[in-house]
Amino acid sequence: MTETPMQKRGDSFEQDQFLTILSREDALARFEAALFPRAIASERRPLSDALGQALADDVVAPIDVPPFDRSNVDGFAVRSADLALAGESTPVRFVLNDEIIACGTAPMLPVAPGTATSIATGGPVPRGADAIVMVEHTQPAGERVIEIRRAASPGQFVSYAGSDIARGETLLRAGTVIGSREIGMLAACGIAEVSVARRPRIAVISTGDELVQPGLKLRPAAIYDTNGAIVTAAIRENGGEPIFFGAIPDVEHELESIMRKALDDCDMLVLSGGTSKGTGDVSHRIIARLGKPGIIAHGVALKPGKPLCLAVCDGKPVVILPGFPTSAMFTFHDMIVPVLRRMAGLPPRSDAKVTAKVPVRIASEMGRTEFVMVSLVEGADDLIAYPSGKGSGAITSFAQADGFLKIEALADQMPAGTETEVTLFTPHVRVPDLVIVGSHCTGLDLVTAPLARSGLLVRSISIGSLGGLAAARRGECDLAPIHLFDEASESYNTPFLVDGLELVPGWRRMQGIVFRPGDTRFQGLTAQDAVRAALADPACIMVNRNQGAGTRILIDRMLGSARPDGYWNQPRSHNAVAAAVAQNRADWGMTIAPVAHAAGLGFIPLAEEHYDFALVAARKQRPAVQAFLAALASDESRAALAQAGFRPVEA
Ligand code: AMP
Ligand code: MG
């Protein structure tokens, strides 16, 4: 291993650590070259405990299976030669021997010519007999005598010893991953313990002063440690044995002693966080002291995941994943899983893939391999892959996405209409029964709840009213929830419909100004006066909404040409507006009444807006759409909507 430019610069890379960025392929190749080939440690495991592990050695069958010639049916063991002349009009009579061979009974008496022995399925074939006649093909013919009217070929209904598994045969090859079928074969041979590749022990450390373990109370400005749980689970999914060391604050000496201990105990060390240029980011400096050759790549042309750091310290891989959970998860799966599986003796992961079309252009940074999570929906002719529009810090995009697509490093975009390969997160694609694309509202969950309970898969993709309308026009969804005000006609939604779309009335939501209770600047005012008061106070900060949101249109109408402090803070949801005001980041904003009340904020009603659905007429007869329309009209969801602070439209 030659020194990388990164190592030569030593401490100076504090300033420019990402100047030497390796391509994804290059980084992985160097990482693997520094680790393989290597011996795979093996261990003996009881069969019941070996599931999912790779066999370390070939397994040779120690016995024949079945161990004796065995009857396949309930019937009579006979000599087939006795039946040579048997036929419909020429029955042959047999005298029954004085035993019944049940399963697990060793036969005592031979079958002499002209005799037969009663035998059960699984019973050992007695000496002399070479065929079994099914009981259905025999008739009783007096005391201890039967009659048979058909011929039998030698070997009929007999499974010979070793016909399934022959003693000395290689039953399973080294490297075979043990599943229930393999366990069955081993058990059939009486094998209770096997040699398997030992699960690599992988130390997991989360780093960051802000991290709290799930289950404990969240301090102000703290977040829950998500990566610890993700990485631990992903290690287990890929044949490793995770050992979690907790979340360690960014204190260099403390972190170093834990990293040293973890590396002593384990075969590999996976950290997350602290890999970028932040002042508190110390783990990569520690790695440089842990062993040779040290850091192999720090900065990989991946998106998400650029700050990934790969190292090998005295033969053991040491990895720092980016802090953002989605980035951590992608880099782990893309760059670490291949190495982990090789160490565990497992074959490369085989993910299911489908071809789908992207409906919109996806911009991409030139020079970085980009992974984009997508939700799959059924279009008119093909599968459509919607990019999930959340940032790299969003963990739920994983749950809402069906898989991801890859944009090669050399492309600066993926044009709308591109057919591309989507790697699925699950073994099979599950196309949703009902697709709702547009503006999000918490009321929507109340209406779709009964659909979900009846087993329908509902997918709602929040991309704002205008994005929803565009998707509906392209026929990529069933319904587009919208709340768009038309200035000219002073009416909601209807003016925005085009041919092929029908309006389904939804509910009314009171939009209004939110502020912290007790803020005398706003208490008791009308919405217009409240905005006037806010604009008059230069210390007052607002929180806006994103372009394309119906709420944004209302805000812009109220503000006219004014651009107060906070105008450029444009979150994408009602809840974010409430959080900004509740946490004192902003003093006022506009959101809907149910969200304001849930956050305990003051609320000045402004206008009731119409939250309706643009229904794609061509999809109206689909059962899931009909189920949605029924749910929308039901007393149950109308009551739930009213309870949550919405006003269902008069039936
Ligand atoms: P860092 O690389 O440490 O600067 O982290 C980048 C971002 O990821 C910050 O917002 C961190 O709070 C966040 N982060 C780091 N580690 C974790 C973790 N274990 N769980 C959730 N978020 C994290
Ligand atoms: Mg950190």
* Whether residue 88 is found in the same domain as residue 28: no
The answer to whether position 433 is within a domain reads no
The answer to whether position 320 is within a domain reads yes
The answer to whether position 431 is within a domain reads no
* Whether residue 250 is found in the same domain as residue 383: no
Q: How many domains are contained in the chain? A: 5
Residues in the chain: 651
* Whether residue 445 is found in the same domain as residue 527: yes
> How do residues 231-290 score in pLDDT, each as one tens digit?
999 999 999 999 999 999 999 999 999 999 999 999 999 999 988 655 667 888 899 899
Output the CA–CA distances (angstroms, integers) from residue 615 to 155, 326, 435, 625, 649, in the order listed.
68, 33, 11, 9, 17
* Whether residue 242 is found in the same domain as residue 328: yes
> How do residues 513-571 score in pLDDT, each as one tens digit?
999 999 999 999 999 999 999 999 999 999 999 887 778 988 999 999 999 999 999 99
Contact between 414 and 405 under an 8 Å Cβ cutoff? The reply is yes
Cα–ligand 2 centroid distance for 246 (angstroms): 14
3-state helix, strand, coil in the chain (%, to 5): 30, 30, 40
Cα–ligand 1 centroid distance for 273 (angstroms): 5
CATH number for the domain including 97? 2.170.190.11
Cα–ligand 2 centroid distance for 215 (angstroms): 20
Ligand nearest the Cα atom of residue 250: 2
Contact between 188 and 64 under an 8 Å Cβ cutoff? The reply is no
CA proximity to 303, closest of 323, 276, 284, 331: 331
Exposure of 564 by Cβ count < 10 A (0-12 exposed, 13-18 middle, 19+ buried)? middle
Among candidate residues 400, 424, 448, the one where a domain is terminated: 424
> How do residues 499-525 score in pLDDT, each as one tens digit?
999 999 999 999 999 999 999 999 999
> How do residues 259-271 score in pLDDT, each as one tens digit?
999 999 999 999 9
CATH number for the domain including 565? 3.40.190.290
Instruction: Determine the structural domain holding residue 134 and report its residue range.
Output: 70-159
* Whether residue 462 is found in the same domain as residue 602: yes
Those residues whose C-beta lies under 8 Å from the C-beta of residue 295, and which sit 6 or more positions away, are 4, 6, 7, 284, 287, 288, 309, 310, 311
Contact between 78 and 231 under an 8 Å Cβ cutoff? The reply is no
* Whether residue 171 is found in the same domain as residue 304: no
Q: Report whether residue 232 contacts ligand 1, using a CB cutoff of 6 Å.
A: no
Exposure of 264 by Cβ count < 10 A (0-12 exposed, 13-18 middle, 19+ buried)? exposed
Distance of alpha carbon 101 from alpha carbon 146, whole angstroms: 17
The residue whose C-alpha atom lies closest to atom 11 belonging to ligand 1 is: 323
* Whether residue 388 is found in the same domain as residue 481: no
Average pLDDT of the chain to the nearest whole number: 92
Among candidate residues 343, 376, 393, the one where a domain is terminated: 343
* Whether residue 311 is found in the same domain as residue 455: no
CATH number for the domain including 276? 3.40.980.10
The answer to whether position 430 is within a domain reads no
Contact between 567 and 610 under an 8 Å Cβ cutoff? The reply is no
Contact between 379 and 358 under an 8 Å Cβ cutoff? The reply is no
CATH number for the domain including 57? 3.90.105.10
CATH number for the domain including 379? 2.40.340.10
Among candidate residues 364, 391, 424, the one where a domain is terminated: 424
* Whether residue 255 is found in the same domain as residue 283: yes
Write down the pLDDT at residue 572.
84
The answer to whether position 49 is within a domain reads yes
* Whether residue 647 is found in the same domain as residue 600: yes
| DSSP symbols for 156-193 | TTEEPTTSSB-TTSEEE-TT-B--HHHHHHHHHTT--E
* Whether residue 568 is found in the same domain as residue 601: yes
Q: What are the φ/ψ torsions at residue 67 (nearest 5 degrees)?
A: -75, -10
* Whether residue 455 is found in the same domain as residue 595: yes
Cα–ligand 2 centroid distance for 587 (angstroms): 29
| Stated pTM of the model | 0.80
Q: Which atom of ligand 1 is nearest to the CA of 225?
A: 20
The answer to whether position 633 is within a domain reads yes
